[in-house]
Structure 1
Amino acid sequence: MVTLYGIKNCDSVKKARKWLDAHDVDYRFHDFRSDGINAQQVDGWLAALGWETLVNKRSTTWKQLSETTRNAMDTKLAASVLLEQPTLIKRPLLDSGKGLSVGFKDSDYQQLFT
């Protein structure tokens, strides 16, 4: 089953959900805030995508991290920081069942689902 991860008030997540609905893609939405995440999920995402892809360096959450934390970021540190602050994960995170992707682009979704 397709799972879309994110937060419900994120504009990119809203666009992705609208696209999936319009194209009759059966999916489950998992809200980081209300549904939570666990270490196993984060470790799997980091292994598949790498912290550089998974961490949203343009987010307010990233900018609020200490400079020391930002400069020391690596996979191990990212795992703990993402568990504490899941809004740092680049959104939306799509698990298509065939692989993971982050962000929303109409053309990417078109290629995945048609």
Structure 2
Amino acid sequence: MLFLQYPPCSTCQKAKKWLDEHEVSYVARHIKEENPTKEELSQWYARSGLPLKRFFNTSGLAYKALNLKEKLPTMSEEEQLDLLATDGMLVKRPILVDENFVLVGFKPVEWEETLRK
């Protein structure tokens, strides 16, 4: 399982603690130092069943600086994926990736239900 995180992020810290407490084995990856590629993002997006907007860190400084709230609705999925692949700080975190699922953001109940399957 791949755990994408930004270590200073308090939500990522809670998610990591949750994974450790539930003895879930994972490989941690620093999302800013090792930004997801367009190919990875495309696969995760397809596997997640979520709208692509959910992959954006809408509360982040980069999102606000680029005025993406206004721009995203007019961008194609291809353009959005290209943009996400340019900067890990644009990507919502944490992300937990397995061959059977992709979880974006940390919601303990959702993680527990998904990992129990």
CA distance in 1: counterparts of 2:29 and 2:113, whole angstroms: 22
- Tell whether the 8 Å contact from 1:46 to 1:75 is kept in structure 2 after alignment: no
Aligned to 1:10: 9
- Tell whether the 8 Å contact from 1:51 to 1:74 is kept in structure 2 after alignment: no
1:1-114 alignment to 2 at 5 Å?
2-48=1-47, 49-66=50-67, 69-114=71-116
CA distance in 2: counterparts of 1:11 and 1:73, whole angstroms: 30
- Tell whether the 8 Å contact from 1:8 to 1:14 is kept in structure 2 after alignment: yes
CA distance in 1: counterparts of 2:99 and 2:10, whole angstroms: 23
After superposition, the Cα gap between the structure-2 partners of 1:65 and 1:19, relative to the gap in structure 1 and judged at 3 Å, is: same
Gaps of 5+ in 1: none
Give the AA of the match of 2:53: E
Task: String of CA shifts for 1:71-107, please: whole Å, max 9, x gaps.
Answer: 5333112111111122111111111332111111121
CA distance in 2: counterparts of 1:44 and 1:62, whole angstroms: 22
- Tell whether the 8 Å contact from 1:54 to 1:89 is kept in structure 2 after alignment: yes
CA distance in 2: counterparts of 1:92 and 1:112, whole angstroms: 15
TM-score, normalisation: structure 2: 0.82
Gaps of 5+ in 2: none
Bigger Cα displacement from structure 2, 44-53 vs 80-89: 44-53
Task: String of CA shifts for 1:39-63, please: whole Å, max 9, x gaps.
Answer: 2102212333332211122222110
**RMSD between aligned alpha carbons?**
1.9
CA distance in 2: counterparts of 1:10 and 1:74, whole angstroms: 29
Q: Secondary structure at the match of 2:2?
A: strand
TM-score, normalisation: structure 1: 0.84
Count of matched residue positions in the alignment of Structure 1 and Structure 2: 113
